[in-house]
Structure 1
């Protein structure tokens, strides 16, 4: 009788231990399968510094991860039109967002103006060649001038428009080297492949570059717009991201990199 009771007790104990083990595994599996939502943002290259900082702050406040793809506005726009799986698109000009809206690629009510961009002439501080005005780009020592490709990069188009306004485009065009976007344009300068160039104020590095703003009246305003992509996986999180950029916290960071909200 005692043996039967001991056997029964051991059986019940074994069942209890298995139950505890299974519960523990289920809990662990549940914890492992719980992942933070990921927001994917396509953004113009001039936003690299500002959005990287904003992304970190947004992640903390919203318990998520933000993945950026920086590039030229034109290239990113083509990718989105062809179904690239982004949640949000921050363009360097509003006309691209408007075109995507017209073709049904964005959620119209999320379209917002978020920044006004500026361009400037830059040279390396440790270079003997300086250029603070467009006329100084005529210096024969300046063999190459870097700008973003004006065919698909708004900042490159603004640089071309400024040179046309100054009556210097035709004479300086043979010196031009074109970056795929404004970040690659900056790389041409920092690597010495161009003695001077036009970059975004937001990418200026005061420690290594001489930078002179171009008069904003010499080119079309760089009114930058943002929107949530139609069919976005993280639509609500995308809306929150736009709200954050337009908030006091977001604009404080944007201002640090030379951006201001454009007047509606």
Structure 2
């Protein structure tokens, strides 16, 4: 019995495919894609792990006029699945997660203002791929001031920050590079009605880390919005996702010009 080998799928270059579908000249297609920054990205980046190794924080709690010092430390540098469980509510489970997110993001997510006002220091260490990253900072008048240390020993590099905007910029630069991620192309409408191209950075990625208690979303912070769809395609690892985001963002800008 003769069996036929399956015919391999034929692939043509991205620019050729666009030219064929649009019935445009190849040179015109190349010039248009280059002008608007749309590049061929058929393969998603390889998946890289992110694991928290240690969480520690300390501060001064003020309740009903009574002041008391507190500190928390948890070493989780081992394999396995961990849970934070207490008998009572409102004893700090959410705080542990939100403090870790603060260190990862460079800005708070849903940390309550009351708890944030109590905190005096945060020290979180995690692995980004195989790279050790330690984020340590003090909080003075609601402003973080500290360092982000990458690696260990003689090869360690230290980045300093003195406020939250600088903290966010440091974490964006470090985390996108460590996890082989790129800013997510998007578009944004300004107050004057103009539409501009925009890149959502590291903070946008971190919105997929946690389904908060006050959200029904499984990924992202809101149900059905554009960022949720883009995050899902990135984390699932769909091919051509970045090219699609770039083209769609530029098209949105051109549509209102």
Which bin holds the TM-score, normalised by the shorter protein? under 0.3
The structure with more radius of gyration: 1
The structure in which a higher percent of residues are strand is: 2
TM-score (norm 2): 0.24
Higher relative contact order (CA 8 A, sep 6+): 1
